[in-house]
Amino acid sequence: MIILVRHGEATHHTEHLTGGWTDSELTAAGKVQLQAVASKLAKDFAGQSRDLRILTSDLKRAEESARIIAARLGISKLEPYEFLREKNNGQAAGLTETAAKALYQQPPTLKELHHRNYPGGETRQEFYDRNVQGLIKCADLERENLLIVAHKGTIQNIIFHWLGLDIAAVNVLNFSVDILPSSVTVLGINKWREHAVFRLNDTSHLHTDSGYGIFEFKYGKYH
């Protein structure tokens, strides 16, 4: 089982800074969003004795989000990793969106995999490889229960990999998924040994008091 949580609203959203490796923090609203996530996850995990690793991007907005969830679930250990960061925006990190425009290097097309939008930044291919290769080295995706707190692009890359798509295939298929702030996505192996997406971009915690139904899905025997 893999639970993917995007960090909540962050100061780069409200202060009109670039995202990427800008080390922004949660806003007051972002903290409320993550408390709602944590409360709903706690309903799912109540009475469960399953081991759960919490992995997080080491950027402040993600680590802070992960700490909120971990505290509510009674888990003391967090595992922060640089490989879970958002796409590296190089020299644009920390700049306003207006200032970053002066550094932006327009790609020839919207389908470039080896283009750097900003000096010192990553290409789309490098970003995907960093996320996926780091995660494969760090965890057994099919046998461990993981809660990963990260960023929109990172979560998208993990989902693509889970579906068996490398970034070139994603490009050819013209495929994407939306991942909103504080959203929850649940992946797992089902009883037919298939890679399943049980929930995608779920923000129902902002509207209801029930759990996500995480343990109602038809997982295989490892979960």
At 157 the pLDDT is 98
Residues of the domain holding 192: 2-141+153-216
Instruction: Please provide residue 129's backbone torsions phi and psi, each rounded to the nearest 5 degrees.
Output: -60, -40
Query: Domain for residue 84, yes or no?
Result: yes
Please check whether residue 30 lies inside any domain of the structure: yes
List Cβ neighbours of 193 (8 Å cut-off, separation of 6 or more): 220
- Indicate which residues carry an active-site annotation: 7, 86
Do the domain assignments include residue 223?
Answer: no
Judged against a pLDDT cut of 70, whether residue 56 lies above it is answered with: yes
Quick: pLDDT tens for 147-192.
999 999 999 999 999 999 999 999 999 999 999 999 999 999 999 9
Identify the band that residue 221 occupies on the pLDDT scale cut at 50, 70 and 90: low
**Is 222 domain-assigned?**
no
- pLDDT score of 209 more than 80: no
Q: What is the pLDDT of residue 217?
A: 66
- Average pLDDT in the 204-219 region? 74
Number of structural domains (the chain) is 1
- Helix then strand then coil, % of the chain, to nearest 5: 40, 15, 45
Q: Is residue 204 part of a domain?
A: yes
Question: Is 78 part of any domain?
Answer: yes
Q: Which residues pair with 189 in a beta bridge?
A: 195
**Residue 61 marked as a ligand binder:** yes
The CATH number of whichever domain residue 73 belongs to comes to: 3.40.50.1240
Measured distance CA(106)–CA(64) in Å, rounded: 33
Average of per-residue pLDDT values in the chain: 94
> pLDDT by residue (tens digit) across 92-148?
999 999 999 999 999 999 899 999 999 999 999 999 999 999 999 999 999 999 999
The pLDDT of residue 182 is 97
Q: What pLDDT band is residue 50 in, cutting at 50, 70 and 90?
A: confident
User: Residue 38 corresponds to which amino acid?
Assistant: A
| Domain annotation covers residue 208 | yes
- In this prediction, residues 54-71 reach a mean pLDDT of 98
% of the chain with per-residue pLDDT over 90:
89
Does residue 147 belong to any structural domain of this protein?
no
pTM for this predicted structure? 0.92
Position 68 scores a pLDDT of: 98
User: Rounded distance, CA 211 to CA 178, Å?
Assistant: 21
